[in-house]
Structure 1
Amino acid sequence: MSPTDPDLIRAEFDLCRQIPSLVDLRTAVRGNDWDTVEAYFDFLGDDEDERAVAANLVADLSASERFLERAVADRGSPLARTLLAARYIVVGWDIRSSYTAQHVSRDQFQSFHAWLRRAEQLLIGVCAEEPAFALAWMSRLTTARGLELGASEARRRYDRLAEHHPHHIQGQILLLQQLCPKWGGRWEDAFGFARACMDAAPAGSHAGRLVAQAHLERWLDSSDDGPGDYLRPAEVRDDVLAAAGRSVRHPDYRPGFHWVGDHNDFAGALSLGGHHREAAPYFRTLGNKATETPWGYWGDREVQFLKHRRRALAKG
């Protein structure tokens, strides 16, 4: 990148700009075109990692529940019901907000739980009919966390997912959140799960990012007043680099739809710990492509991404 490159002064968070093929899916949802939505998921076939990204995109589209409710009424397919449930979860979580529980009102919690229960009823039916339907089990990990069903129930749901899809990265990311102390878990369980997933997955898989995410969550929890120094020690740096070596830096790595998130996790875990030279290769791969986490943890997400990328590229 040259100093005059416009990518140096902006960050791109739009998933459809990062993965252009998703534009067709977004256009179909906005155009109330269920046949094209269904065809898009059929095109992805049995690549459950990419189907998870596509489902999340649909769920995040404002007011998409109206279109999906019609699709469920007209077709009633497992895909339609699951996408509608995923949208209900997003609606509920937006009401709850991302604040910690002590800053969420009783009315917010009641409405939040009502939306999640609506989603859960749809998902129970899908999972009963199609026990291997990964998207439904993935969403049930989120409802389990939001409805505070506990780690044991979340583990049970993950195990049902893993029976058929043992390296489902989005499911693993969701269970990792459940295992963090902010949701009642323990750090030893969170790190143990992240490492177990990475060790069990083929070399070059996405699972290495779970180790980076666990360190980022531990860092975020390390200070109430602002980001602490948890990520600075050499042993943390080396652990993140070793995970990257099993993942995005491995010759067998296949990027797929998760590549932007993979590289942002590693770039974040390194650069937020002051390891700017080591973070540089991940920023170079990303260019201007950024994700909400970890850059939105403290301050403006775009400012943080650009600041850390600038420092990394200057060092490495």
Structure 2
Amino acid sequence: MHLDALVYLAWNIRTGQAASQVSREQFEGFHRVLRQAEEYAARAVDLAPDDDPNPWVAQIGIAMGLGWSHERFGELWTELTKRDPYHWAAHTRALQYWCEKWRGSHELMHGFIDDAIAAAPAGSLLAPIKLEAFHEQFVRDDESLVAWESPEVGAALDTALADLAAADPDHPRIRYARGWLAYALTRAERHTEALEQFRALGQYIPQPFTTRRDPRQFFIDVRIDAVKGAVAAAGPDA
């Protein structure tokens, strides 16, 4: 718990701003606290049961912030997945490590999540994480919404929908999956399918909408796009 708290504190000190918006004092505090967390990580590993992946999951945030090499991160990942190969939170955090804005590239990020999805059982809800990977890529490359209509995204959407259909309805990450599907299906102009996800979400606002300054308004705007698109697709006699 202390390890988790230190990692959480470090990232709060840094804030979620771009590096150019983070002060030298914030960076110094960020790195200082992460180095303290690194020391506690060894103790957490020693104290935890052999099958507990959590001390390893917590270290992903340290690896990102302190710039661990790919080799060192690979050793961490081996230990983590040996204990829980389909740990959902570990995969979403590792996606950030492998993305271009942190320690990887588009190719490494997509390769990582593609391998994970291929190995995971149906219903793991790892497949919707691929949609987050596309978002990371498109935002970084400043691509237009047309990118969401590509065959690659279409295939990822189909895989994510199948993963959702196979998942336990009480899966704790079900709303994450629906949120990314609602967003990506709307961007891909598959409005009727997107509207199904919005209806299932009701008033709950998950990622990716929570990443905006006004999550509620962004959620409403995208949902309106889905409704308008679904109505247009149904035609005047619907």
Once the two structures are TM-superposed, the CA of residue 179 in structure 1 deviates from its matched residue by 0.7
Please, what TM-score do these two structures have when normalized by structure 1? 0.67
Once the two structures are TM-superposed, the CA of residue 167 in structure 1 deviates from its matched residue by 0.6
Between the aligned partners of 1:255 and 1:201, the Cα distance in structure 2 is 18
Aligned to 1:96: 14
Aligned to 1:240: 156
Match of 1:211, SS state, is helix
Instruction: Tell me if 1:113 matches 2:31.
Output: yes
Instruction: Tell me if 1:177 matches 2:91.
Output: no
Aligned residue among 203, 213, 218 for 1:304: 218
1:120-159 alignment to 2 at 5 Å?
A: 120-130=38-48, 131-159=50-78
Asked whether the equivalents of residues 125 and 160 of structure 2 are also in contact (C-alpha less than 8 Å), the reply is: no
Unpaired runs of at least 5, structure 2: 231-238
Once the two structures are TM-superposed, the CA of residue 302 in structure 1 deviates from its matched residue by 1.3
Aligned to 1:30: none
Once the two structures are TM-superposed, the CA of residue 97 in structure 1 deviates from its matched residue by 1.1
Q: CA RMSD in A?
A: 2.0
Structure with bigger RCO (C-alpha 8 Å, 6+ apart): 1
Once the two structures are TM-superposed, the CA of residue 184 in structure 1 deviates from its matched residue by 2.8
Deviations 1:244-302 (A, max 9, x none): 2331123x5444211111211222222244443331121111111112x3224454211
Asked whether the equivalents of residues 213 and 269 of structure 1 are also in contact (C-alpha less than 8 Å), the reply is: no
Aligned to 2:144: 228
Between the aligned partners of 1:158 and 1:183, the Cα distance in structure 2 is 17
Asked whether the equivalents of residues 67 and 103 of structure 2 are also in contact (C-alpha less than 8 Å), the reply is: no
Partner amino acid for 2:177? D
Asked whether the equivalents of residues 175 and 201 of structure 2 are also in contact (C-alpha less than 8 Å), the reply is: yes
Moved >6 Å (runs of 4+): none
Once the two structures are TM-superposed, the CA of residue 212 in structure 1 deviates from its matched residue by 1.1
Aligned to 1:63: none
Between the aligned partners of 1:230 and 1:186, the Cα distance in structure 2 is 22
Aligned to 2:165: 249
Deviations 1:40-71 (A, max 9, x none): xxxxxxxxxxxxxxxxxxxxxxxxxxxxxxxx
Over 3 Å counting, the alpha-carbon distance change for 1:230 and 1:298 in structure 2 is: farther
Aligned residue among 245, 253, 260 for 2:175: 260
Aligned to 2:227: 313
Between the aligned partners of 2:216 and 2:85, the Cα distance in structure 1 is 34
Work out the number of aligned pairs and report it.
Answer: 229
Between the aligned partners of 2:216 and 2:131, the Cα distance in structure 1 is 20
Structure 1, 172-181 or 101-110: larger mean CA deviation: 101-110
Between the aligned partners of 2:101 and 2:77, the Cα distance in structure 1 is 19
Aligned to 1:199: 118
Between the aligned partners of 1:168 and 1:182, the Cα distance in structure 2 is 23
